[in-house]
Structure 1
Amino acid sequence: MNPVCQLLNIRYPILQGGMGNVSNAPLSAAISEAGGLGTIGIGTLSPVEIEQLIIDTKKRTGNPFAVNIPLSVTPFVKEAVQSMFQYEVPVVVLSAGNPAPYIPKFKENGLTVICVVASVKHAQKAEKAGADIIVAEGYEAAGINATEESTTMTLIPQVTDAVKIPVVAAGGIGDGRGLAAALSLGATGVQMGTRFIATQEGVFHESYKQKLVEANDTDTTIVGRKYGKIRRLLKTAYAEQLQKDEAAGVDQQTFIDKTTEEFHLRGAVQGNFAEGFINSGQIAGLVGDVPTVDGLIQRMVKEAEQQLKVIERLL
């Protein structure tokens, strides 16, 4: 049996990436109901909002789901942990910070711990600290990115060689061919964010979904490199303004203030692309429709099976 599926008690080794403050219960629950692992990201949500998001997700699915805690982003780690224990969330995803101080407490309470990394060094540290699964995320991914800029193609085989625990590939995966490729590189599953945005259950503005459907292979852009605060966004008027600000040399705090979750919500939920940004990975050009979550996952599994057969014939 696939070790990721076994550890997480899910049917398919397909995980949802954390989406910050635009996380929503309908999408995460639909992914869990379809046999993957739905994930709600807490971003900078308040303790009350975190608790309500967990409650709403539990109401919609009896299957396992995860909570993503971005350690250096949220000021409410302690409160999030307490809510997870209270409502018996089975899986935690730790990202954007050092997970080592937090892992023992989660393990003591019976949770499965996933750590998101972007380098071999951090994967090894997470494994040593007690992580159960590593998500190795390449530079193709949407939203906040690591400064290492390692691509998924190069990162995954190096991480799988360096650790003994299961590795999930993230960044640049949007269909069954990407799933097959990740498995071929040594991963035992995949994590996706962008592709799940353009689904019927995703609580995002329809204009956001439509922009993904219409996007081509060059329609994402990077902002924040100058400040070490790298984000991959879909090209919009607001993203263009952020690039102009960066080129003009605005100070780091001004850039940070213009890329808070408030502006993420404006773009992703309100559809205001002049005053808010929308995240997107480089797989945007692969998004051609807005299926149900279940339809997407079933299609991916079938595509992966077919592609692995093609690979066998080619060899």
Structure 2
Amino acid sequence: MSNDRVSALMARGAAFLGTRTAIMAGAMSWVSERHLVAAISNAGGFGVIACGAMTPALLDTEIAATKALTDKPFGVNLITMHPALSELIDVCAKHDVGHVVLAGGLPPAGSLERIKASGAKLICFAPALALAKKLIRSGVDALVIEGSEAGGHIGPVSTSVLAQEMLPEIADQLPVFVAGGIGRGDAIAGYLEMGAAGVQLGTRFVCATECVAHPNFKKAFIRASARDAIASVQIDPRLPVIPVRALKNASSELFTAKQREVAQQLDEGAVAMGEAQLQIEHYWAGALRRAVIDGDVENGSVMAGQSVGMVKKEEPVADILATLMAEAETALAKRG
């Protein structure tokens, strides 16, 4: 079956990414590394390296290793609160990375200009319309609007609401990719018809054969239903912790304890707010590593989106992409 209609709706997003399909992969720390990124790009999607807490030297190695596995375009996701953001931008420039995705808050002064000066296209997350407009004025090349159904760090509003509110206002100004809770091609077709240039999926790719995540991590995804992917709870209003969506397990209690510990350090004046938030970030990086790499899915953080219930088996990336495209085409054909 041909994917002509879907391809036509995806044409703008695919041209922007330099890919066959406008399906981006969400950047997942420890999961989105050279093997999965290269496999997604080789299969016609757009892989994205999750820099996360990597040092500039580690990112340098990861980009080079990814290039050895694919000659197709891929992106690099950088977190705005990373203390070495400036050096990470230099590493991307050195490798002529075509697309940089900046996640977490407004880009710090100068970072946006430096990314664009390297010749890279800049993609940012916009969790609200006002922020989207501000980012567009500041010169970003594309936006991702991601709803609270997503895995990992999440905002408070659902994907369906964000899409309705934002696409009519901004989709004609630049490519907008919709993310959060997408597990099937039917939903992809719907968002494309609403004006999205493409979509971003994370959870759906975790059980790809090419993904290096521990078998225990993948098994947890295959067993889970949507209601198992719950958001973390903030216990101290002075510590504005961005909620994280993950599968329910023993580590939820560990995170509550970690927040109490950091809140107490704030109380005692032992740490400043910025340092406190970095400690929380490092906690997540460690907890996620325990689950993804070591396979400790009870005490580690099994970050997953609510679409996890639609992940049924381990299969190659090419099959996942082909299924999504076929489902989208069928959905469009039914609508006539």
What is the TM-score with the length of structure 1 in the denominator? 0.92
Number of the residue aligned with 1:118: 127
Find 1:159's aligned residue among 155, 161, 166.
Answer: 166
Q: Once the 2 structures are TM-superposed, how far is the Cα of residue 179 of structure 1 from its aligned partner?
A: 1.1
In structure 1, C-alpha distance between the alignment counterparts of 2:261 and 2:233, rounded to whole Å: 11
Find 1:280's aligned residue among 304, 307, 313.
Answer: 304
CA contact (8 A) 1:140 1:281 kept: yes
The one-letter code of the counterpart of 1:51 is: D
Q: Does 1:299 align with 2:311?
A: no
Q: Does 1:265 align with 2:273?
A: no
- For CA contacts below 8 A with separation 6 or more, give which structure has more relative contact order: 2
Secondary structure in structure 1 of the residue aligned to 2:226: coil
In structure 2, C-alpha distance between the alignment counterparts of 1:166 and 1:35, rounded to whole Å: 18
Q: Once the 2 structures are TM-superposed, how far is the Cα of residue 195 of structure 1 from its aligned partner?
A: 0.9
Task: Provide closer, same or farther for how the CA distance between residues 256 and 233 of structure 1 changes in structure 2, counting only shifts above 3 A.
Answer: same
Secondary structure in structure 2 of the residue aligned to 1:7: helix
Secondary structure in structure 1 of the residue aligned to 2:227: coil
The one-letter code of the counterpart of 2:286 is: E
Q: Which moved more, 1:84-93 or 1:269-278?
A: 269-278
The one-letter code of the counterpart of 2:111 is: Y
Number of the residue aligned with 1:236: 249
Percent of aligned positions that are identical: 31
Alignment map for 1:177-256 (pairs within 5 Å): 177-226=186-235, 227-229=239-241, 230-242=243-255, 245=257, 251-252=262-263, 253=276, 256=280
Q: How many residues align?
A: 307
Q: Once the 2 structures are TM-superposed, how far is the Cα of residue 213 of structure 1 from its aligned partner?
A: 0.9
Q: Does 1:18 align with 2:27?
A: yes
Number of the residue aligned with 2:93: 85
Q: Once the 2 structures are TM-superposed, how far is the Cα of residue 23 of structure 1 from its aligned partner?
A: 2.9
CA contact (8 A) 1:176 1:301 kept: yes
Q: Does 1:175 align with 2:187?
A: no
Q: Once the 2 structures are TM-superposed, how far is the Cα of residue 240 of structure 1 from its aligned partner?
A: 4.6
The one-letter code of the counterpart of 1:105 is: R
Q: Does 1:42 align with 2:42?
A: no
In structure 2, C-alpha distance between the alignment counterparts of 1:257 and 1:42, rounded to whole Å: 13
CA contact (8 A) 2:217 2:292 kept: yes
Q: Could you list the runs of 5+ residues in structure 1 that have no partner in the other structure?
A: none
The one-letter code of the counterpart of 1:10 is: T
Alignment map for 1:30-109 (pairs within 5 Å): 30-72=39-81, 74-99=82-107, 101-109=110-118
CA contact (8 A) 2:122 2:142 kept: yes
Q: Once the 2 structures are TM-superposed, how far is the Cα of residue 194 of structure 1 from its aligned partner?
A: 0.9
Q: Once the 2 structures are TM-superposed, how far is the Cα of residue 260 of structure 1 from its aligned partner?
A: 2.8
Q: Could you list the runs of 5+ residues in structure 2 that have no partner in the other structure?
A: 1-7, 264-275
CA contact (8 A) 1:21 1:44 kept: no
- CA displacement, residues 266-287 of structure 1 (integer Å, 9 cap, x when unaligned): 0111111233111000001111
